[in-house]
Amino acid sequence: MTITGLLLIVVAAAYVAAPFFAAQAAEDALAPATPGSDQRERLERQKFEAYAAIKEAEFDHQTGKLSEADFAALRGKYAAQAAEALAALDAADAARSKAIGKRPGRIAFCPMCGRAVPPRANFCPGCGRSLTEAVA
């Protein structure tokens, strides 16, 4: 009797779980297999996880769970990870743009002062830095 009940539970669980495995298999079959897409996904995940860790550390600091020194150390560590991922993503995007013959996109913010830059501007309205040098 117990073997029959156990067998019935296993069959029911397999029946319920089957759509989840079929949906994942369909997604995997439809996903384009581009070289470097795995690396890009890894870098995107690294960036997202670093941002999430910074946000969590800020919350813990605000609630008093982290001291100022611990917060600064954690923030620095995760900010470095995020910056590393962003730099690698930017380098990959620049290489891809160069490979297909496109110029890099317009700069939306000045890399020196962070002020928003209007379209077609050659110089930052805040600090006066040449934006054509920043693109190159």
pLDDT at 134: 53
pLDDT at 135: 52
> DSSP assignment, residue 101?
T
> DSSP assignment, residue 107?
P
Residue pLDDT tens, the chain, 136 long: 688 888 888 888 888 887 777 766 655 555 555 556 788 889 899 999 999 999 999 999 999 998 999 999 999 999 999 889 888 888 888 777 676 655 556 677 777 777 788 877 778 888 877 877 655 4
What pTM did the predictor assign?
Answer: 0.49
pLDDT at 73: 93
Sign of the Cα pseudo-torsion (2, 6, 12, 15, in order): negative
Q: Please tell me the distance from the alpha carbon of residue 136 to that of residue 104, in angstroms, as a whole number.
A: 9
Q: Please tell me the distance from the alpha carbon of residue 40 to that of residue 93, in angstroms, as a whole number.
A: 10
Q: Please tell me the distance from the alpha carbon of residue 37 to that of residue 22, in angstroms, as a whole number.
A: 23
Write the CA distances from 20 to 23, 51, 60, integer angstroms.
5, 29, 36
The packing angle between helices 37-62 and 68-100, to 10°, is 160
Q: Please tell me the distance from the alpha carbon of residue 76 to that of residue 53, in angstroms, as a whole number.
A: 11
Q: State the number of CA atoms in the 13 A half-sphere of 115 facing the CB.
A: 12
